[in-house]
Structure 1
Amino acid sequence: MTDKHAKLIEEYIQQGWQVFPLRPNSKEPTGKWKDQKATLETLPTLFKPDSNIGVALGTASGGLIDLDFDSSEASAIGNILFDMLPGFGRKSSPCSHRIALCDDPGKTTQFGLTPEEAALTGLHGDDKAMILELRSTGGYTMFPGSIHPTGESIEWLSELPKQIPSVKWADMEKKAGICAFLAIVLKKYPAQAGNRDNICLALAGTLLRMGMPPEQVDRLIVFIAESKGDEEAQARLKAESTKGKLDAGEDVTGLPTLCDLLGIAELEPKLQKWLKSTSHRKSPDEMVAELNEKYFVVGNDGGSCRVVFFEKRHFENDQVREIMVYQSFSDFKNFMMNKRVTVGEFESGIPKTVPLGKFWLEHSDRREYDQIDFLPGKTPPPTIFNLWRGFQYPSVQGGWCKMRRHIWTVLADEDSEAFRYIIKWSAWAVQNPDRPAEVALVFKGGKGTGKGTFARWLTDLFGSHGLQIFSSKHVSGRFNAHLRALVLLFADEAVAPQDHDAESVLKGLITEHILPIEAKGRDLIQARNHLHVVMASNNSWVVPASADERRYAVFDVSGKVSGNKDWFKGINDEMRHGGAEAMMHFLQNLDLKKWHPREDIPANSALNGQRIESLKGLDLLWFGYLSTGDVPIGEPCDDGFRIPTREFAKEANTHHPNDTKAGKILKEMGCRQDRNRRPSGWITPSLKEARRIWDSKRFRAEWNADITAWIRDLEPPF
């Protein structure tokens, strides 16, 4: 017997443990081990130089208990759950045992699997696959100082402490069950991407229900994920958010879902026993009810019968909106293929399960509707699914004076007519979410002036039915399903008037009562238009406004508060703390009588500016003559000029001059035709008369008061 060998045995005896010899390189005792107990005096005669060392467990050794990890997965998990306990093992399994002292040791508890269960998990054994044992009274363990039957030395991880940690048996048994359970999870965790995130969510729910602290839950989840090569392991930290949902009483997945995802549904009863879990597998009716909360079947939408659900989509500026998603029955069943519902038992007692997707689709209580419609503020018959989800904020009387001051000072530029129109338009939108406004609010101004501050909060009032866009693709793109359930569309620098496709679609969004809607992979359908459009831009030309324009109410935004951070902070703070609710209350209760946005559109310089920017061709050329009082191609005649028809046509369109159109415009603008000279031409009326005719035929312009007559002499006056 070596000195080291003898010293270890002496330390065990001094701990008060029952120590006895085992056969060399073996776990078998040399005799009736329960009757053998070495003392310092009998040690030399009881132990041979090559004897292995056995230590009795439980009451025979003062409550000594041993966690024997029989699988590498259990040992790896044990290094986290039991890292405070002394451990030992051999080179190929350096920490296959952990020991502790227990005042109330129970009976040895084994966590093992039958051969069939072992095959299901990937663990194998001739009789049964033992994952770990919590060993106590009536058993013994081969301790360090021995040689394992494989020939490896059994060593302590570090020196044996003089004070062995004390534990409660119930706590150890519970943690041992968790360890065995997690060993199976580690074995079954997928090496390839797929359901990893859902697995981690269900695992977090299971462990949190066991009372495990969130930080330890995350540590275990990350360890399991990293051990299986999950490159997104750090993104699997689910404990804090899951605990928040549990604390709030929300539904959180747990052991039943986890077993389904790992393909070990048959093991759930055993795992529940190991975990002493209070969770239960949902009944078929409960699972149908759960799916009904998210999914439904629509009999006819665009000519097809589909499964429908809502999915959160992210738009610009951190906006999140729920978008309706369609799935065919086959796609839905494929998506649900890894989820099963227990519908009975086989004769052997093993649960009989069927695919959940197929079960739900065939169930008489599945949620279903004949059709889908968007009916803001209305209650449809039970056969119609209404996409309307209501406003984002409740209506609560209160103050929102800072936002109103912003509308007055910045958006209306302290103009009473503009202020009243903006407020009434907004109130009409809130009070009539089911009808298109037919007029768009347009705010034009420099960067940082605050033209979008009000529009963003107004959009937010409508919740999922309001959307801020920054790209014309969300207006003129082929797939526009996001418009189907929209009430407020804020186009922020999204549409340029030169974009003719977007311009054409935008006009339809503003005024048409029916919209063509096309979702990806779906047939085109016709849907009612409910849009109220707000636009904002830094450009001088924002909208294509015709001479008799009634689609746009345009406002030049003031730059008075540009760059004033305190101004905007005050507005946003107010709106976040009751202002939004107060604004909602005011707009909902403003008495509009029979007012409509098409009434009283301010005929201001901002709208005229858009009309001028939108002029083209012959109209643009003639307006230029009226503005400057000069006709470069004309010859002075009477009180005006004689304009050759062909020259006028060429000035407007060099490549494709049209004499007929040129003559028609000149006649409409009060010119009289001169057939007495060649080439054919037209004689203008006086500048005053020509401007009067323009104002009556096109729009009232703000003419230069310093120019009152045609400039007929371009020579300097000296």
Structure 2
Amino acid sequence: MMEAAMDKNSFPKWFYELPMQVQHALQYREQNPYRNVQYISHLSPDEIREALLHPELNALRLYADPNDKEETEKEVLALLRHIAWETDTAVYTQLPEQLNHYKFVRHYGNKAMVVHWDYQTRMIYQSIAEFKNSHIDKFIAHWNPKTGQWERRPLVEVWLKDPRTPKYDSVEFLPGVEHEIDHPGILNSWRGWPCNTAYVDYSDNEPEACRLFLNHMYDNLCGGDADVYTYLLGWMADALINPHRTSEVAIVLRGAQGSGKTFWANRFMSLFTPHTLTLDKPNQVTGNFNKHLEDKCVVFADEAFFAGNHQHAATLKTLITSDEIFIEPKGVDGYMAKKLFRVIIASNDEHVIRAEIDDRRYLVLDVDAGAHNQDGAYFKAIAEEWDNGGKQALFHWLRGNSWKENIELGLWDVRKRPQTRALQRQKDLSLPETQAIIHQMLHDGELPELYSTKPDTDYVFVSTRLLAQRHRLKPKDETALGKDIRLLTDQNTESVRVYLGEGYNRKQYRGFWLPSLKVCRERWEDFLRRSVDWPDDVSSWSVEEDRIETPPF
């Protein structure tokens, strides 16, 4: 009936695009253009003008005399301004909804800042000026008690001064802390656990829901070594139970592509989402701005560092062992912050890290999935298990009572990490050049081309210069080589001069008398403070025949 009564030729096209209820309201509702104009605020200014002047839209009928063109135009302009006001102005009865997720921080470094989290849960910070500029087109109706009128004020200006605006003294990363009441005045950048923490696992047994993932750890990461496997599980559990403290041991994964290094690291990091970071370039750590490191529980360096680079080695040492880290955000003075993240390193290279003689920072694992290297179906099955309850099962088990007791009672200790063969290999590769030369000589049992022996003994004479020349060592490094060779000699032995060569080529060389290869290896191991996996088929110096000692010149 209503549609039948409506003359379709008497209204413009935009009118029929309105909902039927709105069409009816504009025709029959009581005259009040300032209230009813909200129904058409989405139209263009020309269409709004047409609606206000339409004789059959009673709800929008102007108060001005339609015959007075000047007064009519004034009222039309007033209503157009009113619509503009309503469009970009919120009525101030509560905090503007569009700013509810922003927080004001009085001291962020050396400046006051406004912070919020984006859709990727990254903390975004802006200076007050930047925040005002980003909302320069937003206004609010603000009551002025002096004039007794509503005034149009910049939204940010009112929001900053409002007592209901969330204000904090500082920002800190407090992982595992869920309630602000425990730390009043501190804005916690921790966004919570990705899994439900209400459930507590009291079982000592490994959960079957993540059996494939645990098998991958045991077989491929830990090489079937139960001690290494238990330590790695404890390292993971400690990270989940004590996210508020760092670890002095990093996990190093070395192995071929497709062996499951990154596969394991990514799934472990997903237990801390969004507080994880994957690095693939050194400048993400060594660069000028490193704000991205502050609110992380796990940092994964995937092919990000080169063991031969001394700066990279120093950076890694700081990342792993320091309790604090210097944070330098853009546009803000740098400041010291707690370093809480654990470090995982992965590489396909043989030499991954610079491991010192007394290294205590790394658990190095040679990762090898054997026949399953680059086996898509094998890893797909593990991924499906993980996505269908495996992740939650491992999360609850590692945070459960069994691991909590092991860590609290000292049954698992981060300092008692297994000395893997992979770590020993990294130490061998990290030896200084002169020590690497000696290590190779002891490994192969090979002497320089010219040497001498003592009759009826196992002693051999090794010339420092000839050994240096054999390995193309720079002359300036011969002194260091001599000091390292002396580690193999009898106590307080000094270098001596011995004639080597024959005929016109016979001349003196300075060097040392070394005992049997077995004794030298034992002394070298004492210096390295570890055992070395020497080859079984080389047990003595490789000499062609006895060479009679020639007395010093």
Scaled to the shorter chain, the TM-score interval is 0.7 to 0.9
Q: 1:541 to 1:282 in 2, by over 3 A?
A: farther
Q: 1:307 to 1:323 in 2, by over 3 A?
A: closer
* Higher radius of gyration, 1 or 2: 1
Residue 480 of structure 2: aligned partner? 661
Query: Matched residues in 1 for 2:210 and 2:186: separation?
Result: 38
Residue 497 of structure 1: aligned partner? 307
Residue 673 of structure 1: aligned partner? 494
Amino acid at match of 1:702: D
8 A Cα contact 1:642 1:684, kept in partner: yes
Residue 460 of structure 1: aligned partner? 270
Residue 66 of structure 2: aligned partner? none
Deviations along 1:56-86, one digit per CA (max 9) or x if unpaired, are: xx99x965333533xxxxx5x679x49xxxx
Residue 73 of structure 2: aligned partner? none
Q: 1:477 to 1:597 in 2, by over 3 A?
A: farther
Residue 340 of structure 1: aligned partner? 139
Q: Secondary structure at the match of 1:516?
A: strand
The structural deviation recorded for 1:679 is: 3.2
8 A Cα contact 1:111 1:132, kept in partner: no
Q: 1:136 to 1:412 in 2, by over 3 A?
A: same
Instruction: Provide the identity percentage.
Output: 26
Q: Secondary structure at the match of 1:618?
A: helix
1:629 and 2:450 equivalent? Answer: no
Residue 570 of structure 1: aligned partner? 381
Which residue, out of 380, 389, 392, partners 2:194?
Answer: 392
1:283 and 2:92 equivalent? Answer: yes
Query: Matched residues in 1 for 2:123 and 2:6: separation?
Result: 61
The structural deviation recorded for 1:269 is: 8.3
Amino acid at match of 2:105: V
The structural deviation recorded for 1:368 is: 1.7
* 1:114-513 equivalence runs, <5 A: 123=45, 129-131=49-51, 266-267=82-83, 281-287=90-96, 291=99, 293-311=100-118, 320-325=120-125, 327-344=126-143, 352-378=151-177, 380-395=182-197, 396=199, 397=201, 399-513=209-323
The structural deviation recorded for 1:619 is: 0.7
The structural deviation recorded for 1:714 is: 8.7
Q: 628-637 or 577-586: which moved more?
A: 628-637
Query: Matched residues in 1 for 2:81 and 2:415: separation?
Result: 66
The structural deviation recorded for 1:498 is: 2.4
Query: Matched residues in 2 for 1:652 and 1:112: separation?
Result: 96
Amino acid at match of 2:116: F
Query: Matched residues in 2 for 1:506 and 1:377: separation?
Result: 26
Q: Secondary structure at the match of 2:259?
A: coil
Deviations along 1:571-595, one digit per CA (max 9) or x if unpaired, are: 2222222221111111112133325
Query: Matched residues in 1 for 2:524 and 2:545: separation?
Result: 25
Q: 1:462 to 1:65 in 2, by over 3 A?
A: same
* Structure 1: 5+ residue stretches without partners: 1-57, 70-74, 83-101, 139-172, 174-263, 273-279, 313-319
8 A Cα contact 2:110 2:332, kept in partner: no
Q: Secondary structure at the match of 1:580?
A: helix
Higher normalized contact order (CA 8 Å, seq sep 6+, divided by chain length): 2
Query: Matched residues in 2 for 1:468 and 1:476: separation?
Result: 14
8 A Cα contact 1:67 1:134, kept in partner: no
Q: 1:323 to 1:587 in 2, by over 3 A?
A: same
Amino acid at match of 2:538: I
8 A Cα contact 1:284 1:341, kept in partner: no
Which residue, out of 531, 535, 544, partners 1:713?
Answer: 544
Amino acid at match of 1:708: S
Q: 1:606 to 1:122 in 2, by over 3 A?
A: same
Query: Matched residues in 2 for 1:582 and 1:266: separation?
Result: 58
Q: 1:63 to 1:363 in 2, by over 3 A?
A: closer
The structural deviation recorded for 1:505 is: 1.0
Query: Matched residues in 2 for 1:283 and 1:308: separation?
Result: 23
Which residue, out of 390, 407, 411, partners 1:579?
Answer: 390
8 A Cα contact 1:333 1:357, kept in partner: yes
Q: Secondary structure at the match of 1:673?
A: coil
The structural deviation recorded for 1:689 is: 0.7
Q: TM-score, normalised by structure 2?
A: 0.78
Deviations along 1:97-132, one digit per CA (max 9) or x if unpaired, are: xxxxx999965999999xxx99x998479xx93148
Query: Matched residues in 1 for 2:227 and 2:325: separation?
Result: 32
Q: 1:509 to 1:137 in 2, by over 3 A?
A: closer
1:66 and 2:13 equivalent? Answer: no
Q: Secondary structure at the match of 1:631?
A: coil
The structural deviation recorded for 1:284 is: 4.8
8 A Cα contact 2:497 2:509, kept in partner: no
8 A Cα contact 1:63 1:104, kept in partner: no
8 A Cα contact 1:646 1:657, kept in partner: no
Query: Matched residues in 1 for 2:462 and 2:294: separation?
Result: 52
8 A Cα contact 1:123 1:129, kept in partner: yes
The structural deviation recorded for 1:337 is: 1.4
Amino acid at match of 1:510: I
Residue 424 of structure 2: aligned partner? 608
Residue 545 of structure 1: aligned partner? 355
Query: Matched residues in 1 for 2:306 and 2:98: separation?
Result: 46
8 A Cα contact 2:106 2:167, kept in partner: yes
Which residue, out of 320, 330, 338, partners 1:520?
Answer: 330
The structural deviation recorded for 1:480 is: 0.9
Amino acid at match of 2:95: E
Query: Matched residues in 2 for 1:65 and 1:693: separation?
Result: 106
Amino acid at match of 1:299: R
C-alpha RMSD over aligned residues? 4.0
Query: Matched residues in 2 for 1:482 and 1:335: separation?
Result: 23
Query: Matched residues in 1 for 2:159 and 2:174: separation?
Result: 28
Q: 1:103 to 1:524 in 2, by over 3 A?
A: closer
Query: Matched residues in 1 for 2:187 and 2:26: separation?
Result: 61
